[in-house]
Amino acid sequence: MSEDLWKTVDDYVTTQLLPPDPLLEAARAANDQAGLPAIDVSAAQGALLNLLARSVGARRVLEVGTLGGYSTIWLARALPADGRLVTCEVNEHHAEVAAANVKRAGLDAVVDIRVGPALDTLPGLEGPFDLAFIDADKENNLAYFEHALRMSRPGSLLVVDNVVRAGQVADADDPSPAVTGTRRLVEAVGREPRVDATVIQTVGAKGYDGFLVARVR
């Protein structure tokens, strides 16, 4: 069992299940060219986000953490022509690269990129959103989740990326803000009567991590 094997299997399933996608590949290439970190979701994970959004009949999606818009494109493609995806990004350079990637993918009429700290943007947004994807600075995970819950409706899905972090989430002594922030989220969600939730650990091209998925009651 090794990261190489996880990557090999991701390549295999992606080749078998996902058609070549020049626009998504162009987005990845543009991110690389622009010096963005390669911390976007994998293709298989992006496809899962797209399936989840379509499964809840999403018309409005909220994203926290745009980077170059790779996950944004997967999610926005799940929406009808009059759908809306609002995505929050603090880094102006990331947001500019994302805007170009989204435009190339023909999704600029659907995607609204809000530049600034998400904690400044979220209080001014209004729901309901049918799905939220939280994937920004992990120390604020709980605050983002609470905003997403406030702007949800019964049946909305709230998905949080990177909640396992190679197993660090289970280490109560890990002092890093990303781990303590994610533990605070998991423990608060466990006490939150308004959602049913689980965490699924994942391995693949992006290493060993996991998603939290919550459904609003």
Q: b/e string for 138-174 if b means 16 or more Cβ within 10 A?
A: bbbbbbbbebbbebbeeebbbbbbbbbbeeebeeeeb
151 to 170, contacts with Mg ion by CB under 5 A? 161-162
* Residues 27-66 as x/- pattern, contact with ligand DHB by CB under 6 A: ------------x---------------------------
Q: Alpha-carbon distance 111 to 114, whole Å?
A: 10
Contact 89, 113 (CB under 8 A): yes
Nearer to ligand DHB, 50 or 162 (CB): 162
**Closest approach of Cβ 161 to ligand DHB, in Å?**
5
Q: How far is the CB of 84 from ligand DHB (least distance, A)?
A: 23
Q: Which of 10, 24, 44, 65 binds ligand SAH (CB under 6 A)?
A: 65
44 forms part of the interface with ligand SAH (CB under 6 A): no
Residues that contact ligand DHB, how many (by CB under 6 A): 4
Contact 73, 87 (CB under 8 A): no
Residue with smaller CB distance to ligand DHB, 128 or 207: 207
Alpha-helix residue ranges (DSSP H) falling in the chain: 3-17, 22-33, 43-55, 70-76, 92-104, 118-121, 141-150, 177-191
Interface residue with ligand SAH among 89, 165, 183, 216 (CB under 6 A) is 89
Task: Give the closest residue to 208 by CA, choosing from 43, 42, 68, 52.
Answer: 42
Alpha-carbon distances, residue 181 vs 47, 67, 176, 205 (angstroms): 27, 20, 8, 24
Name which of residues 135 to 154 contact Mg ion (CB under 5 A): 135
Q: Which residue has the tokens 């010096």?
A: 35
Closer residue to ligand DHB in complex, CB, 130/161? 161
Binding-site string for ligand SAH from residue 191 to residue 210, where x marks contact by CB under 6 A and - marks none: --------------------
Identify which range of 39-47, 124-132, 145-153, 173-181 contacts ligand SAH by CB under 6 A.
Answer: 39-47
Q: What distance in Å separates the CA atoms of residue 8 and residue 64, rounded to the nearest whole number?
A: 29
The residue behind tokens 């995806």 is 85
Q: Does 94 participate in binding ligand SAH (rule CB under 6 A)?
A: yes
Task: Report phi then psi at 174, rounded to 5.
Answer: -70, 120
Q: Is residue 100 at the binding interface for ligand SAH, with CB under 6 A as the rule?
A: no
> For binding to ligand SAH (CB under 6 A), which residues are involved?
39-41, 65-67, 70-71, 88-91, 94, 117-118, 135-137
